[in-house]
Structure 1
Amino acid sequence: MIRLESISKQNGKQIVFIEASATLQKGEKVGLVGPNGAGKTTLFRMVTGQEQPDEGQVSVDRGVTIGYFSQDVGDMAGRSAVAEVMEGAGPVSLVAGEMRELEAAMADPDRADEMDAIIERYGELQARFEDLDGYALDGRSREVLAGLGFSQEMMDGPVDALSGGWKMRVALARILLMRPDVMLLDEPSNHLDLESLIWLETFLKGYDGAVLMTSHDREFMNRIVGKIVEIDGGSLTTYSGDYEFYQQQRAIADRQMQAQFERQQAMLAKEIAFIERFKARASHAAQVQSRVKKLEKIDKVEPPKRRQTVKFEFQPAPRSGEDIVTLKNVGKRYGSRTIYDDLDFQVRRRERWCVMGINGAGKSTLLKLATGTVEPDQGSVSRGPSVRMAYFAQHAMEVLEGERTVFQTLEDAFPQAGQAPLRALAGCFGFSGDEIDKKCRVLSGGEKARLVMAMMLFDPPNFLVLDEPTNHLDMATKEMLIAALEQYEGTMLFVSHDRHFLAALSNRVLELTDDGIRTYGGGYTEYVARTGQEAPGLRS
């Protein structure tokens, strides 16, 4: 269906692709992977014709329809969310648009003399609309929006009133409703909670078209794709299998290439040593010349391309007392809405609680109560006297000073640390090379999140409270964060929609339900086994 044949592409001084090739066949589900800046979005834009390769060819079979979801959703205004979704449904939305215009014309007395032609055209469009299953369009749109977490009120409300994250979901719903032959999905798992993520997973597994997608959620990727295309160093390499299989194959290939490289380097060193030793001796002139010619003809083995993943040894957290935080008879309301009524909950030393619940159940509110960010309307919240707490939430990024660089921000926070440890810290959170000189005001949301997380973990507290800490983190940074937190000996209370993060780090689960709270000993994996569901309200 789609073929990239020997494509080369350069953006400014950056070489993105060098004679790279890959194919997408009918019905295939393919994951596109590679480090940030490798060229994933450029590849999508070339497939859609928004950009052209400098050399080579991108071919799309005649008649193939493509739906492209990107992080740039464009302007949305003047319609309800459901109408905005229906607008992207392909030919049927064009027919519906013309029908609306004719309906307005029928009600216009100034166009009475055109009425016969208007009615005739309206009849033709009505038949076409019926053929395209247009009368089911509203219901299908609402079904998709409900799957992505929209209430009926949000569906019918103005799209202008939605936040950026909810507008992303509207843009994604448009592509899903369109059901093109090929879906190009650039980070569709961003901005989705766990329930919506699992719904989308099910939708894509049942979709009979082809999918080419990027995602920083390894579990989501694993469950959907059967092939991986990797962008690395300007080339495209295809692996058959899911993301887990790709990782294994990549590691094996790297080890083999490294061994081959080292063998050749040893052989070259031996030959060069012989040449250097005997080049001045006439008796060995023929042998030296022979070996020089041999070296000139050898195809040099390149060492494996390595992703820069910096490991960092975090300091141990200071020991706390046994009681970390205790909520007694807590009540909390927002206006007429009761979030908690008579809540009792306690966190003890070295427990790692993940908080689960449907949208609006009060997950973030619980974290705010535990940290003292909000006060209860009734009852009490107390923290142990030796508790040293750090709280990561989206507003935590507002503390960054816009005119300071990444490195200056770290220096300001840890003036005694020295340059080398701070550079290593910046590197393991994705700031390498010139990126440490970026000013905070130009950082993306994900970069700000990484910087705040780095500051929190350099001198770790004994109680970490994390609200969606993995949002916008790429897979390599997530893996580093999980590895660091697995070694962390303090106490954790967190909310996350990343199942790999939940499974790796939790040893207790608090589920918020309409009937109150339920607690589970054992972590997220045990919770799934015991309840038969991966998220509240969803059955596996």
Structure 2
Amino acid sequence: MIRLDNIGKQHGQQILFIEASAALHKGEKVGLVGPNGAGKTTLFRMMTGQEYPDEGQVSIDRGVTIGYFSQDVGEMDGRSAVSEVMDGAGPVSTVAAEMKHLEAAMGDPDQADNMEKLVERYGVVQGRFEELGGYALEGRAREILAGLGFSEEMMDGDVGKLSGGWKMRVALARILLMRPDAMFLDEPSNHLDLESLIWLEGFLKGYEGALLMTSHDREFMNRIVTKVVEIDGGSLTTYSGNYDFYEGQRAQNEAQQQAQYERQQAMLAKEIKFIERFKARASHAAQVQSRVKKLEKIEKVEPPKRRSTVLFEFQPPPRSGDDVVNLKNVSKGYGKRTIYDGLDFLVRRAERWCVMGVNGAGKSTLLKLVTGTTQPDEGTVALGGSVKMGYFAQHAMDLLDGEKTVFEQLSDAFPRAGQGSLRALAGCFGFSGDEVEKKCRVLSGGEKARLVMAQMLYDPPNFLVLDEPTNHLDMGTKEMLITALSRYEGTMLFVSHDRHFLGALSNRVLELTPDGIHKYGGGYTEYVARTGQEAPGLRS
């Protein structure tokens, strides 16, 4: 369907692709992987004709329709979410918009004199809407939006009033409704909660077209893709299998290449030693010359490219008392809406609670109650003895000083720490070399999250409260964080939609449902096994 033949592409001084080739065939589900800045988005843009390769060509079979979801969703304003989604389906959305306009006009007393014309026009427009399959399309649009977490009220409300994350879901819904021959999805799992993520997983499994996608969610990628294309050092390498298979295969290839490289280096050292030893002796001149020529002809084996991931080692946190936080008879509401009514919840030392619940169930509210950023309407929240708390929330990223560099932000937070120690800390969280001189205002969402996390974990608290800590983080940083937190000796309370993170780190589950609050001894993996569901209200 779509082929990349010997493409070359350069942005300024940065070479992204050199004679790179790959193909996307009908019905394939392919994961696109590579380090940040390797050129994943550029590849999508070349395959959709928004950019062109400097060399080589991108070939697309005639008649193939493409849907492309990117993080840049553009302006959305003045229409309902349903209309915006249907807009991706072409002319039917224009007809739907006119129908809505006519319906409003027919209900307007000031338009009574035009009623006959309005009704006549409405009949014509409605007929056209039916012809184009509009009613079925609107039903499908609503089904997709519901799957992505929209209520009926949100579907019919002004899309311009939604947050950036919800607008992303609208843009994604447009592509899903299109059902093109080939779908390109750049980070579709960003901004989705666990329930929406699982719904999208099911949708994409049932999608019969070709799929090329990037995602920082390992479990999501594993369950959907059957092939992986890796961008590394300007080339494209294809692996058959899911993400776990790719990672294993890549490690095996690296080990083989390293062994080849070491064998060749040992042989070269031996030859060079011989040449150096006998080059001045006339009796060995022919042998020396022969070996020099042999070395010139040898094709050098390169050492494998190392992905720089530095492990972060926690300092042991101070020990807290056995009761870390105790909520007694807590009630909390917003306006007429009750979130908690008489909640009792005790967190004990070394427990790692993950909080599960659908959108609006009160997950973030619970974390705010525990951290004291919001107060209960009734009841008490008491921290235990010697508890030193660290709280990571999305708003924490807004507290960074935009004019400070990464290094200045860290050195201001820890004035007594040595330069080497802070540079090592920055390196663990992905800021190596000159990247520590970046101003905070130019950092991406992921970079800000990493910096806030670095600040929090350098002098570790004994009670970590984390609200979606893996949002914006790439797979490498997530793995580093999981490894570090698995060795952490303190207590944890966290919300996450990343199933790999949930399974690796939790040993208790607090489930918030409309039927009440349920507590499970055992982590997320045991919760799935016992309930038969991966998120509240969903069957796996």
TM-score when normalising by structure 2: 0.95
Task: Give the residue type in structure 2 aligned to 1:529.
Answer: A
Residue 351 of structure 1: aligned partner? 351
CA drift of 1:90 comes to 3.7
Residue 274 of structure 1: aligned partner? 274
Give the RMSD, CA atoms, in angstroms.
Answer: 2.2
Residue 404 of structure 2: aligned partner? 404
Provide the rounded CA distance (Å) in 1 between the counterparts of 2:433 and 2:235: 23
Provide the rounded CA distance (Å) in 2 between the counterparts of 1:247 and 1:455: 30
CA drift of 1:92 comes to 4.1
Provide the rounded CA distance (Å) in 1 between the counterparts of 2:104 and 2:348: 66
Residue 371 of structure 1: aligned partner? 371
1:95 to 1:298, Cα distance in 2 relative to 1, 3 A? farther
CA contact (8 A) 2:83 2:97 kept: no
Asked if residue 263 in structure 1 is aligned to residue 263 in structure 2, the reply is yes
CA contact (8 A) 2:89 2:178 kept: yes
**Among the aligned pairs, what percent are the same residue?**
81
CA contact (8 A) 2:19 2:56 kept: yes
Provide the rounded CA distance (Å) in 2 between the counterparts of 1:176 and 1:132: 18
Asked if residue 335 in structure 1 is aligned to residue 335 in structure 2, the reply is yes
CA drift of 1:516 comes to 2.2
CA drift of 1:432 comes to 1.6
Provide the rounded CA distance (Å) in 2 between the counterparts of 1:96 and 1:286: 87
CA drift of 1:135 comes to 2.2
Residue 313 of structure 1: aligned partner? 313
Provide the rounded CA distance (Å) in 2 between the counterparts of 1:288 and 1:156: 83
Task: Give the residue type in structure 2 aligned to 1:155.
Answer: M
Provide the rounded CA distance (Å) in 1 between the counterparts of 2:208 and 2:501: 30
CA drift of 1:126 comes to 7.2
CA displacement 1:64-105 (0-9 Å, x = unmatched) = 000000000001111111111110114544665788899999
CA contact (8 A) 1:148 1:200 kept: yes
1:129 to 1:276, Cα distance in 2 relative to 1, 3 A? farther
Residue 246 of structure 2: aligned partner? 246
Residue 25 of structure 2: aligned partner? 25
CA displacement 1:389-420 (0-9 Å, x = unmatched) = 00000111122111110011111112222122
CA contact (8 A) 1:328 1:345 kept: yes
Provide the rounded CA distance (Å) in 1 between the counterparts of 2:104 and 2:24: 44
Pairs within 5 Å for 1:110-189: 130=130, 132-189=132-189
1:61 to 1:105, Cα distance in 2 relative to 1, 3 A? farther
Residue 537 of structure 2: aligned partner? 537
1:98 to 1:338, Cα distance in 2 relative to 1, 3 A? closer
Residue 362 of structure 2: aligned partner? 362
CA drift of 1:272 comes to 1.1
CA displacement 1:372-397 (0-9 Å, x = unmatched) = 11111101000012000000001111
1:514 to 1:279, Cα distance in 2 relative to 1, 3 A? same
CA drift of 1:441 comes to 1.2
CA contact (8 A) 1:90 1:178 kept: no
CA contact (8 A) 1:226 1:241 kept: yes
1:521 to 1:99, Cα distance in 2 relative to 1, 3 A? closer
Aligned residues: 531
CA drift of 1:130 comes to 4.3
Provide the rounded CA distance (Å) in 1 between the counterparts of 2:158 and 2:268: 69
Residue 54 of structure 2: aligned partner? 54
Task: Give the residue type in structure 2 aligned to 1:444.
Answer: S
CA drift of 1:131 comes to 5.4
3-state DSSP of counterpart to 1:184: strand
1:296 to 1:129, Cα distance in 2 relative to 1, 3 A? farther
Provide the rounded CA distance (Å) in 1 between the counterparts of 2:221 and 2:402: 35
CA displacement 1:182-241 (0-9 Å, x = unmatched) = 110000000000000000000000010111000000000000000000000000000000
Where do 4+ consecutive residues of structure 1 move more than 3 Å? 90-106, 125-132
1:95 to 1:388, Cα distance in 2 relative to 1, 3 A? same
Which blocks of at least 5 consecutive residues in structure 2 are unaligned?
Answer: none
Provide the rounded CA distance (Å) in 2 between the counterparts of 1:33 and 1:337: 43
CA drift of 1:282 comes to 1.5
Task: Give the residue type in structure 1 aligned to 2:450.
Answer: R
Provide the rounded CA distance (Å) in 1 between the counterparts of 2:406 and 2:280: 55
Asked if residue 451 in structure 1 is aligned to residue 451 in structure 2, the reply is yes
After the TM superposition, which of the residue ranges 40-49 and 281-290 deviates more from structure 2?
A: 281-290
Pairs within 5 Å for 1:415-426: 415-426=415-426
Residue 413 of structure 2: aligned partner? 413
